[in-house]
Structure 1
C-alpha cells in the first residue's frame, strides 16, 4: 500500500463513523493509527473529511488480527506491507507484559497521573476489547491476588476504583448519547468488594453497542425486576469478582432468573467459580472474559 491512497472513481467510500461501526475500532484510534503509525491512508474530501475504501476496511481488520496475536501497534506496519506470498512470521511477544507492569506499578504508587497516561494511551491506540483482554483484566486479576489483607491494599483499590469510575463513567455518558442498541442494566453482587469488574463490564457493554444503565452498589434482589422494567432493559447483567455466598448462588439467583422477563446474565470471576452450581439454572453464565461475555449475551436478547 502506498503512502497516498488512490482508488477508482466508482469505488464505494465510507466515512469514519461507518468504518468504526463495521470494524469496532473507534474513530480516535483510527486517526491515531493513521497519524502516528501510517497504518491506513484514507482519502480526504475537499473539506478534509476522511473517506475509506473497502480495502482500507480490510486493512483495519488485518491490523486487528495482528494486535490480537500480541504484536505492538508500532510493529504492525512492516507486517502489513509484506508481500502476500511471504510466509507469515511468528509475532513478537508484544509489549503487553511491560504495559501491565507499568499499570500495576502506578496503582501501587497511587500515581494517578501515570494511570491517566496509561489509560488514555491504551484506549487511543487499541480497540477497547483488546485493552480489556490484554491489559485491564489481567491487571485486575493480578492486583486482587496480591492485595489480600496487606497494608495499603484497600487504599490502592479505592484509588483505582475512583479513577475508573470517573473515566469510564465519562465514556459511558457520551456513548449512551450516540448508541441506539438495547439497554443493559448492570449491577454488582453483594459480596463484591468494589466495582472494578463492574466498571470493566460496563465498558465492554458500551463498546458492544448497548446503552448502559449502571448501578454501582448492589440493589436488593426484590427491586431488580422493577429496575429492569423502569429502565426498559433488554437484559440484567450481574457482576462479581468473588465466589458469593452459597444460598445466593443456589437459591436466590435462579429464583430471580425465573421472575424476570429478560435474560439474567452473570459475568466476572464469579461466573467461572460458580459454573457448576448454576449450570442447570436459567442464569446465563457468560464467563470472566468480558468482551466474550458480551458476545455470548447477544444471541439471548429478544
Structure 2
C-alpha cells in the first residue's frame, strides 16, 4: 500500500494541509502514521476517508458531525447530490438490484455522466467500503455499474466518435475503470476497455487515437521510465488516477516541518 506525505495528500485531494491537521487534532477524523522524524504519512485508506469527509462537507454536513457519520452513530440529512446517493443506497440495502439499475439510468438522463459518477457513484462506493458488513452491497453495486458502463459504451458507438483504449496499470480498484467509462460516455468516445489491469503494458502499434491509462499511487521507477518513453515516442497515452496527480507534482518542500 502506498504512503503519502501531507503535501501529497493535499494535492491529490485538493485540500489545505492546515485543514488536514485540524481534522486530525481537533475532530479526531484521521489517524495518520508517523515517520521517525515525526512527519505524518497517509495510506490509501486515509485517502478514501478524506474523500468521504469531503463528500459530506461538500453536501453541507458540518465537520463537527462527520465523526458520527464515519462511526455510523448518526445519519446525514440528505440534500442535493446526497439525496440521489441516499436513494440509491436505500434500494441497494433492500437488494433491489433491478431498481438500482433503473435509478442509475434515470439519473443518467438528468445529469452529465461525469457529474453523476463523481458526485453520486464514487461517494456511494466509498461509503460502502467503510464497514465490513456493507462490502456485500458494494459488490452488488459494482456489478450494476459494470452493466451500466457496457450499456453506455454500446450507446456511444452508435454515433460518430474517436476510438479510445481504456486500461489499468498495476494494482488498482478495477471498478474505477468502469466508472471512468461511464464518466466519459458523453464525450463522443468509442471506448474499448481492458477489464484486467496490465502489469507490463506495451502500446507501440496500438491503433487507438487515445490511450487512457488508470494508475493509483506512486509510479515505480520502472513505470515512470516506461511512461516517459511513451511520451518520447509520441504515443497518445494519458495517465489517469492518483498516479497522474503525483507524477505532475514536485516533492513536498515542507513535509509538515513546522506544525506536527
Q: TM-score, normalized by length of structure 2? A: 0.56
Which sections of structure 1, spanning at least 5 residues, go unmatched?
1-69, 71-92, 279-302
Give the match for residue 198 of structure 1. 177
Instruction: Return the match for 1:160 from 141, 157, 160.
Output: 141
Partners of 1:143 and 1:152 in 2: how far apart? 5
Residue 133 of structure 1 deviates from its aligned partner by: 3.5
Is 1:172 the counterpart of 2:146? The answer is no
Q: In structure 2, the residue corresponding to 1:223 is in which secondary structure? A: coil
Partners of 1:185 and 1:117 in 2: how far apart? 28
Q: 1:219 to 1:250 in 2, by over 3 A?
A: closer
**Given that residues 171 and 197 in structure 2 are in contact (C-alpha distance below 8 angstroms), is that contact kept between their aligned partners in structure 1?**
no
Structure having the higher helix fraction is 1
RMSD (CA atoms)? 3.1
Q: Which has the higher contact order (CA 8 A, sep 6+)?
A: 2
Residue 238 of structure 1 deviates from its aligned partner by: 0.8
Instruction: Return the match for 2:107 from 99, 112, 122.
Output: 122
Query: Where in structure 1 do 4 or more consecutive aligned residues deviate above 6 Å?
Result: none
1:84-122 per-residue CA deviation (whole Å, 9 max, x = no partner) reads: xxxxxxxxx953112112334555664413321320221
Q: In structure 2, the residue corresponding to 1:193 is in which secondary structure? A: coil
Q: 1:137 to 1:274 in 2, by over 3 A?
A: farther
Q: 1:183 to 1:274 in 2, by over 3 A?
A: same
Give the match for residue 211 of structure 1. 190
Query: What does residue range 1-302 of structure 1 map to in structure 2 within 5 Å?
Result: 94-107=79-92, 110-144=95-129, 146=130, 150=132, 153=135, 155-178=136-159, 180-194=160-174, 196-226=175-205, 228=206, 232-240=207-215, 242-243=216-217, 246-259=220-233, 261-276=234-249
Q: In structure 2, the residue corresponding to 1:262 is in which secondary structure? A: coil
Report the structure number with the largest CA radius of gyration: 1
Q: 1:109 to 1:262 in 2, by over 3 A?
A: farther
**Given that residues 204 and 235 in structure 2 are in contact (C-alpha distance below 8 angstroms), is that contact kept between their aligned partners in structure 1?**
no
Residue 219 of structure 1 deviates from its aligned partner by: 3.2
Partners of 1:193 and 1:103 in 2: how far apart? 21
Partners of 1:152 and 1:245 in 2: how far apart? 31
